[in-house]
A and B are shown apart, each in its own frame.
Chain A
Amino acid sequence: NAGVMQNPRHLVRRRGQEARLRCSPMKGHSHVYWYRQLPEEGLKFMVYLQKENIIDESGMPKERFSAEFPKEGPSILRIQQVVRGDSAAYFCASSLQSDGGYGYTFGSGTRLTVV
Chain B
Amino acid sequence: KQEVTQIPAALSVPEGENLVLNCSFTDSAIYNLQWFRQDPGKGLTSLLLIQSSQREQTSGRLNASLDKSSGRSTLYIAASQPGDSATYLCAVLQYNNNDMRFGAGTRLTVKP
Contacts and interface: CB of A to CB of B under 8 A. Distances in A.
Contact of A56 (B41, B91, B98): B98
Given A33-B98, A42-B104, A106 B36 contact: yes
Nearest to B42: A108
Interface in A83-110: 91, 93, 99-109
A75 to B, nearest CB: 14
A48 to B, nearest CB: 4
Interface stretch (B10-18, B43-51, B64-72): B43-51
Nearest to A98: B98
B89 A104 contact: no
Secondary structure class of chain B's binding surface, majority of residues: strand
A35 B104 CA distance: 14
A109 B100 CA distance: 17
Sort chain B's interface into a size bin. Answer: 20 to 34
B41 A101 contact: no
Interface in B77-112: 89, 91, 93, 95-96, 98-105
A12 interface: no
Which of A43, A58, A91 has most chain B Cβ within 10 Å? A43
Which of B46, B49, B100 has most chain A Cβ within 10 Å? B100
A43 B89 contact: yes
B63 interface: no
Closest 8 CB pairs of A and B: A108-B43, A48-B98, A106-B44, A103-B49, A45-B99, A43-B102, A42-B104, A56-B98
Interface of A: 6, 33, 35, 41-45, 48, 55-56, 58-59, 91, 93, 99-109, 111
28 contacts: A6-B43, A33-B98, A41-B104, A42-B103, A42-B104, A42-B105, A43-B44, A43-B89, A45-B98, A45-B99, A45-B100, A48-B99, A59-B99, A91-B44, A93-B44, A99-B31, A99-B95, A99-B96, A100-B93, A101-B31, A103-B34, A103-B49, A104-B46, A104-B100, A106-B44, A106-B45, A108-B43, A109-B43
